[in-house]
Structure 1
Amino acid sequence: MKSLYLRKDMEASDSRIAIMKENPEIVLSEVGDESSVLVKIKACALSTTDVQTIQELNLASSDIAIGRAIAGIVKDVGNCVTSFKPGDEVVALLPLDSQFSGCAELCTVNEFDLIMKPKRVEFDEAVACLYEGVRAYTALQIQARMCAGETLLVIDGATPNGSTLIQLAQNWGAKVIATVNSQEEKLFLETFKPPLTSIVDVSNGKTNTIRSVCLEETGGLGMDIIVDSGVNMFPDQDDDVAQKLNLPTKHELISSLAVCGRWVTSQRDLQIDPPNSQLLFLKNGSVSYLFPSAWTLSSNQQGRYLHIMRDVLNKLASGVIKPSISGKISLDEAPSVYQMIKSRRIGTVVVVMDQ
């Protein structure tokens, strides 16, 4: 059985390469968990692996599994499984601590991490927006408590995460402003219906236009909610990644917030210096951290988590969410494509298994 994993590069100890492993066929009775479900995978979203978090949580082994959003058909169930039966079409987000790769022919998933796939949704469409939908739902509803009529700034709106945020926010009645990093991304967002309130081009480092556009579009009030994809922590220092992605500074985002505004950030090592903290205090603003994988690391909110996944797929089935799939590849092509996945900004690459 073929499975895709990350392994340390022998020539560069600080990097990892994608490899295809030949594992023995999974037999559910040998797994030892009677709540497990054996899934024959039909499609898996090829996405970057959060190696840093896996290592920080001491979940890393010699090989790290690739692929978390999966869709397939139940092949076998454990003795304690009551919600699924062989032949059911299911979807899941594999937990961070899963030892099984989603980019594989077969995968074992806990019963309580699975949901049924709506009949109107194709396998590739389901995996193309599942993680992004859970992330957007977490940011907008759980952390930002968004209400209809509020204003939202989405950083990197053309990425899969950003475009899903935009579609859900517009469905819930928000007015959306998004940033783009190239003309291609701008053209992509201009196809959205209904159209965005404004699209801010930050290519060539023009991030200082974000504040002026936000204040202009809101009559000087600022944005109710900001969801970033990272920030430029130290603009006075050389940060190649932040400069290449044209990430906004902390001051730029805080200055764009309205009174009682909510900033949802993906910057894990965010440091707010005293002047910016004072500005945030005067706005009565708040900062929350966006880490969707936390849902799978604890069973405390399992019911809410499954509800979110079901709602994401229902919105996909009704046409509220329209995923952008940039390419469909075979499992054998996945190792070479994975090495270039970070450079793809628009759309999701989906691994489609042989029938």
Structure 2
Amino acid sequence: MVLDMGTLYAVAAIASAVAGVLHLIPWLTGRLAPWAAWWGLGHIAVGGSSLMVAIFDVKSVAMPVFIPNILSVIGYAAVLQGVRVFERPQARAAPLLILVAIAAVPLFLSRDPQAFAGRIAYLCAVRACCDLAVAYVAVRMAQRQGLQNAWLMAFLFGATVPLFVGRAWLAATGRIGSTLLGPADDLASWLAASAIAFIVFRGFSLLLLDAERSHRSLADLACRDALTGALNRMGLAQLRQRLDGQVAVMMIDVDRFKALNDVEGHVVGDTALRLLAETGQMVLGQRGSLVRTGGDEFLGVMPRLSHEEARALADAIELRFDQEIGRCTALAPRPTLSIGLAEGAIADGFERLIAQADQAMYAVKRMRQGNRRAA
């Protein structure tokens, strides 16, 4: 089967340009974050480079040969930066721009139209490095952020790495052929055609990731209390489905919360609730989740923790809240926490554990009220 390389380069140019425009326009209208600008401009640059190759044979003196080559390097680097910014919005562009400038120097100096094999080997090596870096960032996002579509991106970019490496090796050993365009059926051309096939499909992979991330953010918002960021009752229901075995729960209530609202206002009361949520989740960490069940009541859910371990965490939450609440209010006596604990098997009934923790919390509250009256 004979390949028409000129047509394939034109297809790659059109696909990259379309992907670039469809990312750049939403960024310009404020619908996408800055990662879309890098990704869009990168694909437009790659498409422009492929279009130049499709229209002008790079061996021709009609066009300086370094222009499409340098444009290709800039495009691939911009695509890589787009993925980096998508993963971490604060990712700096300066180090990558320095590497691009360094990588462009040999291409700028190599102007002999007949020495195109060496430039192809160099460009394929640069492209392989960029695609490998994108695949690495995609795997990292899949593992750290749980984005399942990142595995697809890793595959689409990782698959072209051996193709570019193989083409670079063929070019370096003088087996690239006598022309880039026109009919061809050698191994180097098939490697190029295979890489172009992946390039055509992967231009929209970051949009899939953005859609997945947005969907997860909306789902997370639906499961969290708007004021404190703790889980709400819907979040508790989802958490309940993942629980098995032993679990410890703590019911937390803010003492004198009504007095705080009445004397200093609801703004201070809201601040106290946010402080409790931040304190509770900080102490629990990965060992448990905090749920706002209503008003000033919170529920701590700690899978596979013993009663003693749960008690230590409850004491830590109470101590830290007592240390920090003074910054929110001058009310005397200051608000404190009453915490009740229960521990048992989920199979025996999660609601029963919550009821036991609630009873224990009210027992602590009655004991403290009795002590204050006695005092």
Q: TM-score range by the shorter chain?
A: under 0.3
Compute the TM-score of the two structures, normalised by the length of structure 2. 0.21
Structure with greater proportional strand content: 1
Compute the TM-score of the two structures, normalised by the length of structure 1. 0.22
Structure with larger Rg:
2
Structure with greater proportional helix content: 2
Bigger RCO of structures 1 and 2 (CA < 8 A, at least 6 apart) = 1
